[in-house]
Amino acid sequence: MTEPGPHLDDWLAYIGSIHPVGWDLGLKRVAEVGRRLDVLHPSKVVILVAGTNGKGSTCEYLEQFALASGLRVGKSTSPHLQTFNERIMVDGSPVPDHEIVDAFQNINAVRGDITLTYFEFATLASLVIFHGKQLDVSILEIGLGGRLDAMNIVNPDLCIITAIALDHQDYLGDTRDEIAAEKAGIMREGVTCLIADREPPGRLTASAEQVGAPIYKIGDDFDLEPGTTPKLPADSFVVALEAAGRLNWDTTDAKRIADETQLSGRRSWGHLHCDVLLDVAHNPSAASSLADYLATLSGYQAVHAVIGMYADKDIETVTALLAPHIKTWHLCASEEPRAASAEDLKARLSADQSGNARTYDKIDEAFAGAASDAGGDDLILVFGSFPVVGTCLKLLPD
């Protein structure tokens, strides 16, 4: 297959087409290319972050603590909301197209006959870019699981495991303990691992003992200081602050970081003729947290939900958890193959909710439908998959 030219969109199409399957968990192929590129420790300090919920906000807080300490920092997360460049941040800003293209070209030249998935290309591109810039710290988010995720090829100096919940059961297991065993795959002998799950499955402790990784747990070894009210999930802030302290970073700005740090698509607020709340909650644990957050809000006459989710998610439980807060449902699919159709979403609503639901062919049409139903004292809630939340974010006025 001919290598693309200088345009990032062409490269993204290329890297999405050269491997026979989209998800191909395992480290042998990507680790070999990583060794050839010499990017397995891409900066002076490498932090590896795994978990089900709270990874993105933990990485965001870590980035803010690093910047407040005057460090040069790279952050790699996935998926993106609006542009691919969001996946690779340097000093708080997405890297430009040409740097990503250069990294892809470098990877393509080195890989030989080894095929890589889209995610593996993206993972390696972030490591190549961070290594080339000689950064002080790399903050690297695990995409799926831990043990077999492409990002687990690196040699971390500190590991973090956030809250563990049921998600991606087809790949990771049907219980929290089975999923914990996969997350624990990021642990390394002698490398500190911070646990930000308040009821950690026993497999985490067992895995740490087996590997020889020292672990420290939220609620036991560190916790939130009274009077601190972070905008993003509090446990993400707590574990990031603990990590910053262990790395001897400057934490004197902790209150400002707690008060001001935000992350697009995580309890993000916008406004049309009424308020709009957007959140990428797409599994039961995240939906429960979002429902608790909705319960703290006051002054809204009604909530109108825009929802799109992947077909393999627990749609029934997610919608049931949020149903007590919702007056009308506006159901849509995205263009991704994994997306549930609007009709499937409606079929998976409870009987008493489906009567208040309408289906749409496109995300923007669902958003317009919710806006039409909502009065000035109402709230539009957008939740579910990243493509749905990302599209609706674009529809909000600046």
Per-residue pLDDT for 23 more than 90? Answer: no
Q: Check whether residue 172 and residue 80 sit in a common domain.
A: yes
Kindly report whether the global pTM for this prediction surpasses the value 0.75. Answer: yes
Per-residue pLDDT for 172 more than 70? Answer: no
307, 264, 282: which is closest to 394 by C-alpha? 264
Per-residue model confidence (pLDDT) at position 174: 62
In percent, the amount of the chain with pLDDT more than 90 equals 75
Per-residue pLDDT for 185 more than 60? Answer: yes
Per-residue model confidence (pLDDT) at position 329: 96
Residue after which a domain boundary falls, among 260, 286, 319: 260
Q: Check whether residue 167 and residue 65 sit in a common domain.
A: yes
Q: Check whether residue 182 and residue 241 sit in a common domain.
A: yes
Please list, in sequence order, all residues whose beta carbon lies within 8 angstroms of the beta carbon of residue 368, skipping any fewer than 6 positions away.
none
Sheet holding 215-217, edge to edge: 93-94, 88-90, 73-76, 137-141, 45-50, 158-161, 193-195, 215-217
318-360 tens-digit pLDDT: 999 999 999 999 999 988 888 899 999 999 998 888 889 999 9
Per-residue model confidence (pLDDT) at position 173: 54
- Give the model's confidence band at 24: pLDDT under 50 very low, under 70 low, under 90 confident, else very high: low
Q: Which token pair is 302?
A: 């009604």
Q: Check whether residue 247 and residue 278 sit in a common domain.
A: no
Per-residue model confidence (pLDDT) at position 274: 97
Residue 259 and residue 230: Cα distance in Å, rounded?
5
Residue-range definition of the domain harbouring residue 152: 8-260
110-119 tens-digit pLDDT: 999 999 999 9
Per-residue model confidence (pLDDT) at position 268: 92
- Can you give the CATH number for the domain in which 362 is found? 3.90.190.20
In percent, the amount of the chain with pLDDT more than 70 equals 96
Strand 215-217 vs strand 193-195: parallel, antiparallel, or unpaired? Answer: parallel
Per-residue model confidence (pLDDT) at position 144: 74
Q: Check whether residue 172 and residue 210 sit in a common domain.
A: yes
| Average model confidence (pLDDT) across the chain | 92
Partnered with residue 268 across adjacent β-strands are: 278
Residue 74 and residue 129: Cα distance in Å, rounded?
9
Does residue 2 sit within a domain? no
Does residue 205 sit within a domain? yes
Does residue 118 sit within a domain? yes
Per-residue model confidence (pLDDT) at position 21: 63
Q: Check whether residue 144 and residue 285 sit in a common domain.
A: no
Helices and strands (H and E) in the chain: how many: 16, 14
Does residue 156 sit within a domain? yes
Q: Check whether residue 247 and residue 280 sit in a common domain.
A: no
Does residue 356 sit within a domain? yes
Per-residue model confidence (pLDDT) at position 362: 93
- Can you give the CATH number for the domain in which 211 is found? 3.40.1190.10
Please list, in sequence order, all residues whose beta carbon lies within 8 angstroms of the beta carbon of residue 52, skipping any fewer than 6 positions away.
162, 163, 164, 165, 166, 167, 179, 183, 283, 285
Residue after which a domain boundary falls, among 211, 226, 260: 260
Does residue 170 sit within a domain? yes
> DSSP string spanning 240-290?
HHHHHHHTT---TTHHHHHHH--BTTBSEEEESSSEEEEE---SHHHHHHH
φ/ψ of 47, rounded to 5, equals: -115, 130
Q: Check whether residue 319 and residue 219 sit in a common domain.
A: no
Q: Check whether residue 82 and residue 214 sit in a common domain.
A: yes
Is the sign of the CA dihedral 16, 18, 19, 20 positive or negative?
A: positive
274-322 tens-digit pLDDT: 999 999 998 888 899 899 999 999 899 999 999 999 888 889 999 999 9
Contact criterion met (CB below 8 Å) for 349 and 326: no
Average pLDDT over residues 155-161: 97
Per-residue model confidence (pLDDT) at position 321: 94
29-45 tens-digit pLDDT: 999 999 999 999 999 99
270, 240, 245, 269: which is closest to 257 by C-alpha? 240
Domains of the chain: total: 2
130, 110, 125: which is closest to 37 by C-alpha? 110
Average pLDDT over residues 242-251: 97
Residue after which a domain boundary falls, among 211, 232, 260: 260
DSSP state, residue 17: T
Average pLDDT over residues 260-272: 92
50-82 tens-digit pLDDT: 998 899 999 999 999 999 999 999 999 988 999
Does residue 3 sit within a domain? no
> DSSP string spanning 117-150?
-HHHHHHHHHHHHHHHTT-SEEEEE-SS-STT-G
Per-residue model confidence (pLDDT) at position 167: 54
Q: Which long-range contacts (CB under 8 A, 24 or more apart) does 354-358 make?
A: 354/329, 356/326, 356/327, 356/328, 356/329, 357/328, 357/329, 357/330, 357/331, 358/328, 358/329, 358/330, 358/331
The kind and range of the H/E element at 239 are: helix 234-246
Does residue 277 sit within a domain? yes
Q: Check whether residue 274 and residue 299 sit in a common domain.
A: yes
Q: CB 122: neighbour CB atoms within 10 A?
A: 26
Q: Check whether residue 182 and residue 324 sit in a common domain.
A: no
Q: CB 277: neighbour CB atoms within 10 A?
A: 20
- Give the model's confidence band at 143: pLDDT under 50 very low, under 70 low, under 90 confident, else very high: confident
Contact criterion met (CB below 8 Å) for 33 and 106: no
Q: Check whether residue 246 and residue 294 sit in a common domain.
A: no
Per-residue pLDDT for 219 more than 90? Answer: yes
Task: Give me the amino acid identity at 181.
Answer: A
